């Protein structure tokens, strides 16, 4: 899906976005809800196109997610080392820090 959207927008895909880890981070960012994952991908591509970028990067996904959640860009499923335990699918868009 990400590749199809990027091709349509005439964007390259940065190499690190083709990894299993990134896909797991993306799915975690969408709380395993495919409609939300699609929305995050679409918004990331919009940001890349709006910035006149040549390639879709992790930064576009971070911007997409933080604009949706209002959370700090330093603590996202795309940046946090323990993203799988901090961002749980039963609590979308809430960090579990301190629980």
State the pLDDT at residue 97: 46
pTM of the model: 0.87
Report how far apart the first and last C-alpha atoms of the chain are (Å, whole number): 34
84 to 1, 25, 46, 50, 64: CA distances (angstroms): 22, 8, 26, 30, 19
- The pLDDT tens digits for 29-39 are 998 999 999 99
pLDDT per position as a tens digit, 41-81 = 999 999 999 999 999 999 999 999 999 888 888 889 999 99
Position 70 scores a pLDDT of 87
Bridge partners (DSSP) listed for residue 55: 12
């Amino acid at each position: 899906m990400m590749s199809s959207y990027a091709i349509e927008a005439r964007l390259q895909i940065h190499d690190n976005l083709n990894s299993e880890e990134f896909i797991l981070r993306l799915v975690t960012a969408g709380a395993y809800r495919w409609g939300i994952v699609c929305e995050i991908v679409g918004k990331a591509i919009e940001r890349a196109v709006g910035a006149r970028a040549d390639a879709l990067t992790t930064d576009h996904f971070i911007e997409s997610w933080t604009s949706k959640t209002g959370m700090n860009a330093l603590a996202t499923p795309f940046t946090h080392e323990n993203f799988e335990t901090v961002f749980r699918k039963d609590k979308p868009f809430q960090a579990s820090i301190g629980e």
